[in-house]
Each structure stands twice: as C-alpha cells, then as structure tokens.
Amino acid sequence: MSEILVANNNSPKFREQVKELVGKPFSIWQRLRMKGNGSGRLEVAEYSFKLANCFGENSGRKQAIIELRPKGIIIYIRNHINDYVWCIPYRNLCIFQSNLYSIHSNGNYVKIDLNKSLKLTKSFFKKMYQEKTKFIENQSVIQ
C-alpha cells in the first residue's frame, strides 16, 4: 500500500515507516554507480484529489522530487505549511507516458510535465523503470 506521510519531523518512527514501505536509501556507492537516484525538480501538471492537500491551493508552481529506493519510490512534495512524502512500493507503482508522465498508485496520481527538461526527465524515468523491473524479477525468483 502506498502512503502519504507528513514529513515535518524526521523522527525514528517516521524513518522506520518509510524504510518499511520502500526500503533503506541506496548506499553512496550504489548511487554513484546509478549516476544518481533523484530526479531533480519536476513540474507537476495535474494531481489526484487526495493529493490536493499536499500541494495546497494557492501555491502557484507545483513541483515534486522523486527519489529511487530499493523497494519503491518516494515523491517529495512541499507546500507553504508542510512537507509530504508519498511512498510507493514498486509492486503498486504504475507509470504511463503520453504527453505527460503519469505516476499512479492506489487511486492517487501525479502527472509530470515532459516539456520541462525533457532529456533529464526521460533518463530518470528510464532508470525508474529499470529499478522496478529489477525489483519485480528478484521478487519472482524469491517466490
């Protein structure tokens, strides 16, 4: 199950919840081998009703950052009051591409604008697909 958590305090309980959902962060060596595990700022074109609180109504530009983890992704969302993280395990992650990249999980979605920094966005999403495929292949071998 994906979860949207308030990330204002970095308590041990919060870190444990995130670790349980999407795994520990990659080590520095793994991140260097991957040539980074974060997306940079992405322009959000559209989002689901449940994520409206996270983005806020009057915040103008909507941006998010995606971090890859061994068992899923984290989407970081900031507004004027709170910081939010949306933890999505790979088994619940669906990605669609048209003129926007659309990330879906359990009825929530975020649509990323491709026109902003297209080359960086495409290479990051390719890396995300690879990590998801690697995770699913490893899960099928274990079971």
- Give residue 61's pLDDT: 76
Residues of the chain with pLDDT under 70: 1-2, 57-59, 116-117, 141-143
Question: Which pTM does this prediction carry?
Answer: 0.89
- Altogether, the residues listed in the chain come to a count of 143
- Give residue 116's pLDDT: 66
- Give residue 141's pLDDT: 65
Q: Provide the token pair at 22.
A: 């999407």
Q: What single-letter DSSP state applies at residue 80?
A: S
- Give residue 25's pLDDT: 94
